[in-house]
Amino acid sequence: MRATDPQVLYMVLILPSLFGLTLIGEGLNKILKSERAGWISVTLGALFIGFVLFSFIFLSTFTKK
C-alpha cells in the first residue's frame, strides 16, 4: 500500500476527522446541558482535528512527486 492510495487517505484523514467531529458534537451537547465535562470533549476533539490537519500537511508534503 502506497501513501497515495485512497485507503490510506480514508484511514489517516477521514476516519479520525469523523471521530474528532463526534467528540466536538458530544461536548457541545454536554455544554448545552450545563455539564463541565463538555469542555474536555470539545478540547480533545479540536486537538484531534488539529492532529489530522497536521498529518494531512505532512503527508501532502512528502508524497509530492
- pLDDT tens per residue across span 8-54: 777 778 888 999 999 999 999 999 999 989 999 999 999 999 998 89
Give me the pLDDT at residue 4, please.
65
What secondary structure does DSSP assign to 23-62, as a single string? HHHHHHHHHHTT-THHHHHHHHHHHHHHHHHHHHHHHHHH
Range(s) of the domain holding residue 39? 21-58
- Residue type for position 40: I
* 43 part of a folded domain: yes
pTM comes to: 0.78
* 44 part of a folded domain: yes
* 6 part of a folded domain: no
CB 3 within 8 A of CB 59: yes
If one counts the domains in the chain, the total is: 1
* 8 part of a folded domain: no
Q: Which residue has the higher pLDDT, 2 or 49?
A: 49
* Grid cell listed for 7: 485507503
Q: Which residue has the higher pLDDT, 61 or 36?
A: 36
Contacts of 1 (CB under 8 A, 6+ apart): 7, 8
* 9 part of a folded domain: no
* Grid cell listed for 5: 492510495
